[in-house]
Homo-oligomer: A and B are copies of this chain.
Amino acid sequence: MGLVWFDDPAPPRGEQLSRERIVAAAIALADEDVRGEVTMRAVAARVGSSTPMSLYRYVGSKDGLIDLMVDEVYGEITVPAGEWRTSLRGLGCSGWAAVQRHPWFARLAFSRPPLGPHALAVYDAALAALDGFDLSAAERMGAINTVLGHVFGSGLALLEERAMRERAGFASDADLTEAARPYLQRITQEGRYPHFIRWVNDPSRHDPAPQSFERILDWLLDGIAGTLGPVSGPG
């Protein structure tokens, strides 16, 4: 701590703090971090505050802040109206797009009840899409969660894959393979896991996965279709 004379008398206090500004800063920070992790101190610095405690007046706790971040991303998900399958497919695809923009969303969405306004809007629209079928409440939600489960699962895999690449400066799959080579060579020499070794040494394993998000989504929609029975309304 220096003498008084060294400080600006009035550190030019930036914009006013607000819940929106804090949430926006936290989301920007999470987007920049590979693991999507965020500390209250970092958010405080980002909004120009000198102490993490300033945030607590607006968001209550870190968990509260995260709830707000998550709901904000739910706001990027849209459920097109219309035939049930296009609606649920739209839910899946726009969810996937949102998750690609904010991979941390997948990690966090799993762990909290979707009760924010944007999350409720998503669920409401998705439930509406299934109106007109003779389904129980559990079946309706089950269908939606099947789709969202796929979205979040794929997002989580994406998040962790990116994080792993970063871990030791691995820029590409090739580098990662390089790092694991001695270990894999030892295994190869011991002759165990022959199928796995064959897979490792197959260069075509780097091809884009044919089991893409959308393809699996279609499989799930096929399965859901089988449970809907005949259309009994406008769905």
Contact = CB atoms under 8 A, between A and B. Distances in A.
Given A156-B156, A211-B145, A196 B127 contact: yes
Interface of A: 110-113, 115, 120-121, 123-125, 127-128, 131, 136-143, 145-146, 149-150, 152-154, 156-157, 160, 163-164, 180, 183, 187, 192-196, 198-199, 202, 204-211, 215-216, 218-220, 222-224, 227
A208 B139 CA distance: 9
A136 B204 contact: yes
A206 B140 CA distance: 12
A205 to B, nearest CB: 4
The majority secondary structure among interface residues of chain A is helix
B120 A196 contact: yes
B142 A209 contact: yes
B193 A120 contact: yes
A135 to B, nearest CB: 9
A110 B107 CA distance: 10
Contact of A149 (B141, B145, B154, B183): B154
Given A146-B216, A153-B149, A137 B205 contact: yes
Contacts of A115: 180, 183
A210 to B, nearest CB: 5
A41 B202 CA distance: 43
14 contacts: A120-B187, A120-B196, A123-B199, A124-B193, A136-B202, A138-B205, A141-B205, A146-B211, A152-B153, A153-B156, A210-B227, A211-B227, A220-B220, A222-B223
A145 B137 CA distance: 30
Contacts of A142: 209-211
Contacts of A146: 211, 216
A215 to B, nearest CB: 7
